[in-house]
């Protein structure tokens, strides 16, 4: 091959190579622009521009009167785009001094004007498009900053960037705080904030943002923003006045009795609407705060407030009545290998179901319950199911545990001969305070159990988005005959029973005290941990409100339900019944005749024929169950009931409720001389009932 042909071959090879490269480049360009054009154009946009979500303003949580319990407060952060397109060097130089001066006077009095100016100037030299100016400003403060020199020229010429954040605020601070709940960044929402988040959160908007640095975007001005839609408002059933007194009175009780924690709930009887729910415990700083919703989430053995369920089960079974006799054994009795005790050794012997409930005798209630249901304990548990005590209440808030109730068939391995007696007085089962109150509210509502609820409606401005109506859980849990007897006994608990310290002259209260020992079965426990409670409703004859108060582990100034929880209940009830006070104040100035059952209180003792003669003379029916010479009386629905009163000749008898003549006659048989103080019935004796008689002289105090 000659040199000319060799040269041409080489030229053609190089030309072919370049043509191949050109073809590849042309194809790549075509592919990028046409085949993959949409994808790459979108990526290009995302590199410099992005649609960012704009959070919607969260709806308010309101009290029943419309006052805000939780609301979104707009908080503003101010940044500066020092290289904004319209911000010329001339404009910057003209206004930077006055801008620094205004910022110094309004926001940073502790800094010098020169230091603030230097920060802005350095930011411009660095072309900082997101220079920090201020944060945590309210709306008025933001408007003031917006009016400063340079910034007043607008975002294009002045470079001001406004970032809005809606921060959740509670105007009443700790007021029902745990129930209202929390909604904040990096935290699990709780309470109503979580349960009704779907309604509260609204719908996000969108805004075009331009990337000006690593993870830094600023709004693009002049482009339409997709407006966020504000959330709906949630209207609760909470009453601010009742909630306030519930928290104040509960706090006073926890402080006075040096208790660990406590809760109180107030419910509307007819609907189940919760009017107040207070939960308080100590924090590390020694302050009472709402850190946990004990009312809904804490399940424990209720103690004597549960005796209401046992009483109704006994009456409904038809094998016991308020007059059913029972021997209280002075305050203690044995079931198999365990001793059942009353709150104290009172020395009372023969009594009845009515007295046992009114005076909260564990011995009396458990002995009658065991006698009626021992051979078929499943029937007792079935009554609890019928009452709704085996189910959750269904309250809107999360965290409610299911009631813990043993079943003799399903739980054979842990059902003992002692289980039924202890269950009947509120042990070996667990409920939350709300679950107990729901049952009490059902009794106040003539047997109709309502679902407790906290939210009445969802609104958007003046428009109702959703109306939440009351829900009936159980239509009827008690017969009318039993209901009448139960309410009468609950009233007498307050009139002359364990809660007589909260009796009102203005309105009637029906309720039950409770004093549970939370470490009852722990062997070797030297110190008892108490749970003091009171549950009931008012006014008793036409109930409007039900309420429960539970104080956990009081350690000072008393621990009984009557001493710790009942006074809190009374303060709350007084606030709820304020309107009743004004209506009845004048009427109550007129002296009223003392009711018969106050002149003849439960527990009177004496010679049977004397009582029979007196009752016959005044026209009261007298029902003597047996025919002993000495009897104890109680007031029932149909008149006066009497049971035999026997006493041990070796131990000091209970003389309380006796007249002096009868007491002297009884003690003559012991060879003991009595030294009386006062007149009336015996109320106190120097040697307690049931103790060995260590002296031939016994002092009696009469009223």
Q: How many CB atoms lie within 10 A of CB 430?
A: 17
Share of the chain above pLDDT 90, in %: 54
Which of 232, 257, 272 is a domain's end point? 232
Query: Do 522 and 610 fall within a single domain?
Result: no
| pLDDT value at 626 more than 70 | no
Mean pLDDT of 629-641: 60
Q: In the numeric block, which tokens belong to residue 625?
A: 């169950």
- Please tell me which of 191-195, 419-423, 515-519, 606-610 the model is most confident about, judged by mean pLDDT: 419-423
Query: Do 207 and 80 fall within a single domain?
Result: yes
Lowest mean pLDDT among 55-59, 83-87, 232-236, 643-647: 643-647
Query: Do 250 and 228 fall within a single domain?
Result: no
Task: Tell me which of 65 and 629 has the higher pLDDT.
Answer: 65
The length of the chain in residues reads: 703
Predicted local distance difference test score (pLDDT) of residue 396: 93
Predicted local distance difference test score (pLDDT) of residue 703: 74
- The enclosing domain of 665 has a CATH number of 3.30.10.20
Mean pLDDT of 249-267: 96
pLDDT single digits (tens) 135-158:
988 888 888 999 999 999 988 889
Predicted local distance difference test score (pLDDT) of residue 125: 92
- The enclosing domain of 171 has a CATH number of 3.90.1310
To the nearest 10°, report the CA torsion of 120, 124, 130, 135. 10
Mean pLDDT of 428-442: 97
| pLDDT value at 35 more than 90 | no
Predicted local distance difference test score (pLDDT) of residue 586: 42
Q: In the numeric block, which tokens belong to residue 482?
A: 């039993």
- Please tell me which of 156-170, 532-546, 618-632, 649-663 the model is most confident about, judged by mean pLDDT: 532-546
Mean pLDDT of 81-106: 91
Which of 14, 35, 51 is a domain's end point? 51
Query: Do 353 and 260 fall within a single domain?
Result: yes
Mean pLDDT of 189-214: 78
| pLDDT value at 465 more than 90 | yes
Burial of 203 (0-12, 13-18, 19+ CB in 10 A): exposed
Instruction: Determine if residue 657 is left, alpha or beta; phi over 0 gives left, psi from -120 to 50 gives alpha, anything else beta.
Output: left
Share of the chain above pLDDT 70, in %: 81
Query: Do 407 and 512 fall within a single domain?
Result: yes
Cα separation of 108 and 276, whole Å?
44
Query: If pLDDT is split at 50, 70 and 90, which confidence band does 258 have?
Result: very high
Cα separation of 119 and 392, whole Å?
61
The contacts of residue 590 (CB under 8 Å, 6+ apart) are: none
Lowest mean pLDDT among 127-131, 359-363, 497-501: 127-131
Predicted local distance difference test score (pLDDT) of residue 424: 97
Predicted local distance difference test score (pLDDT) of residue 25: 82
Query: Do 367 and 435 fall within a single domain?
Result: yes
| pLDDT value at 426 more than 90 | yes
Query: Do 262 and 365 fall within a single domain?
Result: yes
The DSSP H or E segment spanning 317 is helix 307-317
DSSP SS3 for 48 = helix
Task: Tell me which of 228 and 683 has the higher pLDDT.
Answer: 683
| pLDDT value at 631 more than 80 | no
- Please tell me which of 511-525, 549-563, 617-631 the model is most confident about, judged by mean pLDDT: 549-563
Mean pLDDT of 34-46: 62
Side-chain-facing half-sphere of 669: CA atoms under 13 Å: 11
- Mean pLDDT, the chain, integer: 84
Query: If pLDDT is split at 50, 70 and 90, which confidence band does 601 have?
Result: very low
Q: What are phi and psi of 314, to 5 degrees?
A: -65, -45
Query: Do 260 and 377 fall within a single domain?
Result: yes
| pLDDT value at 629 more than 90 | no
DSSP SS3 for 535 = strand
Predicted local distance difference test score (pLDDT) of residue 252: 96
> In whole angstroms, how large is the CA radius of gyration of the chain?
39
Query: Do 401 and 491 fall within a single domain?
Result: yes
pLDDT single digits (tens) 281-313:
999 999 999 989 999 999 999 999 999 999 999
Cα separation of 419 and 370, whole Å?
10
Query: Do 131 and 202 fall within a single domain?
Result: yes
Query: Do 163 and 244 fall within a single domain?
Result: no
Burial of 621 (0-12, 13-18, 19+ CB in 10 A): exposed
Q: In the numeric block, which tokens belong to residue 536?
A: 């009931």
Predicted local distance difference test score (pLDDT) of residue 639: 55
Query: Do 350 and 254 fall within a single domain?
Result: yes
**Secondary structure of 325-378 in the HEC alphabet?**
EEECHHHEEEECCEEEECCCCCCCCEEEHHHHHHCCCHHHHHHHHHHHHCCCHH
Task: Give residue 7's domain range.
Answer: 3-51
Which of 199, 232, 265 is a domain's end point? 232
Number of domains in the chain: 5
Q: In the numeric block, which tokens belong to residue 13?
A: 């090879």
pLDDT single digits (tens) 638-695:
556 566 666 666 677 888 878 888 888 888 878 888 888 777 788 777 776 766 676 6
């Amino acid at each position: 091959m000659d040199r000319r042909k060799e040269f041409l071959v080489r030229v053609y090879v190089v030309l072919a190579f370049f043509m191949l490269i050109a073809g590849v480049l042309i194809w790549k360009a075509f592919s990028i622009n046409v085949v993959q054009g949409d994808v790459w154009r979108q990526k290009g946009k995302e590199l410099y521009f992005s649609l960012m979500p704009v959070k919607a303003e969260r709806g308010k949580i309101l009290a029943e009167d419309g006052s805000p319990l939780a609301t979104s407060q707009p908080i503003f952060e101010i940044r500066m785009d020092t290289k904004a397109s319209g911000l010329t060097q001339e404009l910057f130089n003209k206004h930077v001094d006055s801008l620094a001066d205004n910022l110094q006077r309004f926001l940073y009095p502790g800094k010098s004007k020169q230091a603030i100016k230097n920060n802005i100037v350095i930011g411009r030299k660095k072309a900082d498009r997101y220079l920090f100016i201020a944060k945590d400003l309210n709306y008025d403060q933001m408007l003031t900053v917006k009016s400063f020199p340079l910034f007043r020229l607008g975002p294009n010429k002045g470079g001001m960037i406004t970032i809005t954040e809606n921060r959740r605020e509670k105007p009443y601070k700790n007021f029902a705080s745990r129930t209202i709940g929390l909604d904040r960044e990096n935290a699990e929402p709780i309470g109503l904030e979580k349960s009704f988040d779907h309604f509260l959160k609204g719908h996000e908007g969108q805004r075009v943002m331009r990337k000006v640095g690593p993870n830094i975007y600023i709004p693009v001005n002049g482009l339409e923003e997709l407006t966020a839609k504000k959330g709906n408002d949630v209207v609760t059933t909470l009453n601010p006045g009742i909630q306030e007194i519930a928290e104040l009175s509960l706090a006073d009780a926890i402080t006075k009795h040096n208790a660990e924690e406590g809760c109180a709930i107030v419910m509307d009887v007819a609907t189940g609407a919760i009017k107040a729910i207070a939960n308080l415990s100590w924090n590390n700083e020694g302050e009472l705060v709402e850190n946990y919703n004990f009312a809904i989430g804490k399940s424990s053995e209720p103690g004597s407030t549960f005796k209401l369920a046992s009483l109704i089960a006994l009456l409904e079974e038809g094998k016991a009545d308020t007059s059913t006799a029972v021997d209280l054994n002075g305050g203690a009795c044995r079931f198999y290998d365990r001793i059942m005790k009353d709150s104290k050794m009172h020395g009372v012997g023969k009594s009845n179901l009515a007295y046992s409930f009114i005076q909260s005798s564990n011995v009396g209630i458990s002995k009658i319950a065991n006698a009626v249901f021992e051979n078929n304990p499943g029937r007792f548990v079935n009554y609890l199911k019928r009452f709704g005590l085996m189910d959750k209440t269904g309250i809107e808030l999360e965290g409610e545990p299911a009631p813990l109730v043993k079943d003799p068939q399903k739980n054979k391995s842990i059902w003992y001969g002692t289980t039924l007696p202890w269950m009947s007085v509120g042990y070996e089962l667990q409920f939350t305070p709300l679950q107990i109150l729901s049952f009490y509210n059902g009794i106040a509502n003539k047997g109709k159990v309502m679902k407790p609820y906290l939210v009445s409606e969802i609104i958007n401005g003046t428009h109702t988005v959703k109306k939440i109506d009351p829900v009936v859980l159980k239509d009827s849990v008690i017969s009318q005959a039993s209901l009448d007897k139960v309410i009468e006994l609950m009233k007498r608990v307050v009139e002359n029973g364990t809660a007589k310290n909260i009796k009102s002259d203005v309105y009637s209260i029906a309720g039950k005290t409770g004093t549970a020992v939370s470490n009852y079965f722990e062997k070797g426990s030297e110190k008892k941990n108490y749970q003091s409670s009171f549950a009931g409703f008012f006014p008793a004859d036409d109930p409007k409100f039900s309420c429960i108060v539970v104080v956990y582990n009081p350690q000072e100034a008393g621990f009984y339900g009557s001493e710790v929880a009942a006074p809190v209940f009374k303060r709350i009830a007084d606030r709820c019944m304020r309107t009743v006070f004004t209506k009845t104040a004048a009427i109550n100035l007129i002296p009223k005749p003392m009711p018969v059952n106050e002149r003849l209180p439960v527990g009177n003792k004496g010679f049977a024929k004397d009582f029979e003669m007196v009752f016959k003379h005044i026209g009261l029916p007298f029902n003597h169950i047996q025919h002993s010479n000495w009897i104890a009386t109680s007031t029932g629905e149909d008149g006066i009931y009497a049971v035999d009163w026997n006493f041990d000749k070796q131990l000091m008898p209970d003389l309380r409720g006796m007249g002096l003549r009868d007491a002297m006659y009884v003690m003559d048989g012991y060879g003991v001389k009595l030294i009386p103080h006062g007149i009336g019935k015996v109320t106190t004796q120097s040697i307690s009932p049931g103790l060995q008689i260590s002296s031939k002289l016994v002092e009696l105090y009469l009223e």
